[in-house]
Homo-oligomer: A and B are copies of this chain.
């Protein structure tokens, strides 16, 4: 079986503001969202420009998925990521846009 290969996605209506802000407060996660937001196509986990190890990246993707911000699906060995923009915007109007454009103005600063 590869049922485990289909990660669980929450109903966006069951996601809380608390969860979303906890997800977006991390610079690495916000960078993932920004890159997704600026890309016309979905992006594989390994194709992101991140400054952390693979296992740490996995952690960040899970947090974003559980916050209802991204959808993940497998293509071969690659895990693809897409922004759940419409659903999310419906639940939290204006929030994603505000954070993304704010982040665009002041890029994420990695710790030294």
Seen from chain A, the residues whose Cβ lies within 8 Å of a Cβ on chain B are 16-18, 20-22, 24-25, 27, 30, 92-95, 97-99, 101-103, 105-106, 108-109
Contacts and interface: CB of A to CB of B under 8 A. Distances in A.
The residue in A17, A18, A24 that gathers the most chain B C-beta atoms within 10 A of its C-beta is A17
Contact of A16 (B16, B17, B106): B106
Copies of this chain: 2
Given A17-B105, A18-B27, A94-B94, 5 more contacts: A17-B102, A21-B30, A94-B98, A95-B102, A98-B98
18 contacts: A16-B109, A17-B30, A17-B99, A17-B106, A18-B25, A18-B27, A18-B106, A20-B102, A21-B21, A21-B25, A92-B102, A93-B98, A93-B101, A94-B94, A94-B97, A94-B98, A95-B98, A97-B98
